[in-house]
Amino acid sequence: MLKGKTAVVTGGSRGIGAAIVCKLASMGANAAVIYAGNAAAAENVCEKCRQEYGVQAKAYQCNVADFSATKETVAKIKADFGTAQILVNNAGITRDGLLAMMKEEDFDAVLSTNLKGAFNMIRHMTGLFLRAREGCIINIASVSGMMGNAGQCNYSASKAGLIGLTKSAAKELASKGIRCNAIAPGFIATDMTGNQTDNPLLRMIPLGRMGEPEDVADAAAYLASAEYVTGEVLRVDGGIAM
């Protein structure tokens, strides 16, 4: 269904990002996997895409918070793949702490990666989308950005900002054939959440379990092919933010 398209996924070497890369590759998309530090993990994901799904896949090391580094990386992707039609802004970090004691650098780091990183990628990829006359941007937000969460003022601010960015980009780019949507995951079992089996918040999930990265990847697959959907925030949270 995505045959011949290229998907760029940030933070694609593990967790939700890796699941999204594999899902889009299983639908026929070539994969440009952006990773922060773990080259071996990123290469493993690329190898899986090539072996199991027969698509082209290449890994690129890039700090998404760095404006000029993202520009250079997008130029490399253009040189390697010709163009790209799908961008998934998945790279994200947490630096949780109580507001009254939060360090300035922890606030800045989270905003720089989660929000500015998405802006940087959209900013540099939009030229490719405009030339291709099509584009699909999927931003991985969080229910924390919709509901707020004590101990996560930096993270929830970054994710709420990402939802605002999503809606503005959707309005601005719709007439050019470019869609922009967000996914708001709840508790998903990855390195970021660690072992949460005794977290009391788990009891508040109507579906009664943590999500898997594949649950979020299924939503990304839907948005990648939902031609009449833009500016949407799709919760994948077992109902917790209902």
Chain positions contacting ligand NAI, by CB under 6 A: 10-11, 13-17, 34-36, 63-65, 90-93, 113, 117, 140, 142, 185, 187-188, 190-193
Measured on CA atoms in the order 207, 220, 9, 151, is the torsion positive or negative?
A: negative
Strand partners, 30: 6
Amino acid at residue number 30: N
Locate 84 and state its tokens.
């790209």
DSSP state of 10: E
Catalytic residue among 35, 155, 222, 228: 155
Rounded Cα distance between 214 and 100, Å, is: 36
Q: Distance of alpha carbon 173 from its chain centroid, rounded?
A: 19
First-last CA distance in the chain: 31
Helices (H) and strands (E) in the chain, counts: 8, 7
Q: Is 60 annotated in the active site?
A: no
Q: Which residues are catalytic?
A: 155
